[in-house]
Amino acid sequence: MSLSMNRRHFLAGTAGFVAMHPFSASASGNQAHLRLMETTDLHVHVFPYDYYADKPRDTIGLSRTASLIQEVRAESTNSLLLDNGDFLQGNPMGDYIAYERGMKEGDSHPVINAMNALGFDASTLGNHEFNYGVSFLMKSLAGADFPVVSANVVKKMGASATADTTLVKPYVIMEREITDGSGAKHPIKIGLIGFVPPQIMNWDRKHLEGNVQTRDIVATAKAYIPQMKEEGADLIIALCHSGIGGANAEDGMENAAIPLAAVEGIDAILTGHSHLVFPSSKYDDFAGVDTKAGTIGGKPGVMGGFWGSHMGLLDLLIERDGNSWRVLSHTAEARPISKRNEDRSYTALAEDYAPVLAAATKEHEETLKYVRTAVGKTDAPLHSYFALVADDPSVQIVSNAQTWYIKEQMVGTAYENLPVLSAAAPFKAGGRGGPEYYTDVPVGDVAIKNVADLYLYPNTVRAVKVTGQQVKDWLERSAGMFNQVEAGAQDAPLLNPSFPSYNFDVMDGVSYQIDLSQPSKFDKDGGEVNPDANRITNLMFDGAPLDMAKEFIVATNNYRASGGGSFPGAKGDTVVFEGPDTNRDIIVRYLVDQGTVNPKADANWSFAPLADTTVIFETGPAGAGYADSVEGVSIEPAGASDTGFANFRIKL
């Protein structure tokens, strides 16, 4: 089968002028130009639609990436389309299929249908393929018109990797025809092998324990690559659902792309998992990669973003050497489907490819109904009008969900006996967003699209290990939200306007008070300016004063854990768990699991009393309906502001 004709869609759009890559122009009679196109981390984003926000979005969608793919096919004599995993889970369409519609024998999955419509040649498994269980995964894969490979997920361990019984094929060797620079056709065998982070055994323990096991990525590759060569593979491409991390191999690495690419016999690597782009300046300082040359571990490599944001493209100039082929030269790029403008808006760079949309239209419409209907109920209103001045239900539900998730993830680890705290901040809290920029979900049904109100950003879950002292300093940093207030002051302004609400972390699992008469220990950027300040008082854990030497696990997000906001204990060096799931997904799962939740704020923090002192703050006018129900603080109306907000007074 010819590489350029192995799918009926490959020649669509060939009418008119098409650009020619330099390799196509320069290839001689014994040379050929091979184009490898990659998608990665699609996460069921077939349509350019944000189901959480319930509106179209130009920055995502396989239907848009497909147009870029069709353009490359039209320019190509020889091309392959490969997916790098994480296609089955990650947005409400995936949850709808798994939790509502289900997958019976013979059912088809919309993302698989869309991939079939586009004519993928192969895919590997990502870690999120396992989120709904092995049975769901295998029923979904049954509808694929392309092979799915993964070498290090094992149903039955053998004496060595090559003796394992793997969940899916560890690799495939495709026998194709390739057209050289003179127009002559030659046989070629292209080997494709896939890998997934072994951490799936922790991330999806409840689904995988007793069903599969995993092997180290690099060790598995070293076992299989010689076997693939013996079977006649001319070129071997690694489909690596693993990010670009350290240059040296370590047993059980999650982000093993660099040492994997360096394995002898691998000719090119397609990577992902990190939701980033390669080549890009993000990786300029990484040992073992060359962003200008587009190499990872010395081999051609690419990473095509996430959710269909980019198409990864490797152009290989290959030469026939006797009866085999070798890579002479290459170029690497990640082509975006949109561009960001100076005003932070986006301009689409690709149109929808209709056959991809058609393949999932029915499920798209069903998903819209799903996100607009309840997945759970709340016994307390979820509003953020007073999230900056009192313990708040919209933050409480996030903390509850994070605690629920991290406690489960710590089981079986070295940290399972450490107490779990949770840090969460209000995102929709007025400010530059205006007087209506608040979360407001009434008692009763909670729909999936409400989760976007509760958690604005697609952060992923992290856990850090900290001491009691770091917990206190974390809270001291958070208390920079407030101005210093002199005892006896009347209607002093409470909130520091230069302090962003997303840096106001509330810590659940401990109780504490904030003494506003003290100066802030840290400035707005996290620099220590008043080392002797102690705004955080009466800090208690389990009914006793917090032990400053005691160790805790704190559930948070990737932004905070990696140093975002410069919080003590969260500078990137205390991370003990990097979850593959977004905080939004965790909230949805929590709602589905609990059915009805009661996220009423437990008033675990409050302001320390200051005699004869009042402070003023502003919030949305609609907050007036909730002022009397706020726990732990006395709030009264104090008139309207001239900016559309409403002023409220607190008696300290």
Both 351 and 378 in one domain: the answer is no
pLDDT at residue 4 in the model:
46
Both 359 and 422 in one domain: the answer is no
d(C-alpha 388, C-alpha 136), whole Å:
43
Residue 30 phi, psi (nearest 5): -110, 20
Both 115 and 213 in one domain: the answer is yes
Both 261 and 178 in one domain: the answer is yes
Helices (H), 411-538: 448-454, 468-478
Both 360 and 389 in one domain: the answer is no
Residue 460, in any domain of the structure: yes
Work out the angle between the directed axes of helices 110-118 and 354-371 (0-180°, nearest 10): 170
Domain boundary among 312, 343, 368: 368
Domain that holds residue 194: 32-320+327-368
Residue 225, in any domain of the structure: yes
| Residue 417 CA to its chain's centroid (Å) | 28
d(C-alpha 217, C-alpha 45), whole Å:
27
Residue 639, in any domain of the structure: yes
Both 214 and 361 in one domain: the answer is yes
Residue 110 phi, psi (nearest 5): -60, -35
pTM of the model: 0.77
Domain boundary among 339, 368, 397: 368
Query: Which CATH number does the domain housing residue 80 bear?
Result: 3.60.21.10
Q: Residues in the chain with pLDDT < 50? A: 4-18
pLDDT at residue 46 in the model:
98
pLDDT at residue 640 in the model:
87
Residue 99, in any domain of the structure: yes
CA nearest to 61, candidates 273, 349, 362 = 349
Residue 505 phi, psi (nearest 5): -80, 130
Structural domain tally of the chain?
2
Work out the angle between the directed axes of helices 583-594 and 393-410 (0-180°, nearest 10): 90
Residues comprising the chain, all counted:
652
Instruction: State whether residue 371 is helix, strand or coil.
Output: helix
The one-letter amino acid code at 579 reads G
pLDDT at residue 13 in the model:
32
216, 254, 279, 288, 306 from 259: Cα distances, Å: 12, 12, 17, 8, 23
Both 306 and 357 in one domain: the answer is yes
Residue 53, in any domain of the structure: yes
Both 387 and 405 in one domain: the answer is yes
Residue 7, in any domain of the structure: no
Both 458 and 598 in one domain: the answer is yes
**DSSP 8-state code for residue 578:** E
Residue 63 phi, psi (nearest 5): -60, -30
53, two tokens: 């926000």
Instruction: State whether residue 408 is helix, strand or coil.
Output: helix
Both 312 and 394 in one domain: the answer is no
d(C-alpha 253, C-alpha 261), whole Å:
14
E-state strands within 203-304: 213-214, 235-240, 268-271, 277-278, 289-290, 295-296, 299-304
Q: Counting Cβ atoms within 10 Å, is residue 519 exposed (0-12), middle (13-18) or buried (19+)?
A: middle
Both 349 and 449 in one domain: the answer is no
Both 416 and 565 in one domain: the answer is yes
Residue 620, in any domain of the structure: yes
Query: Which CATH number does the domain housing residue 416 bear?
Result: 3.90.780.10
Which residues fall within 8 angstroms of residue 39, CB to CB, at 6 or more apart? 62, 65, 81, 82, 83, 84, 304, 308, 311, 312
Residue 123, in any domain of the structure: yes
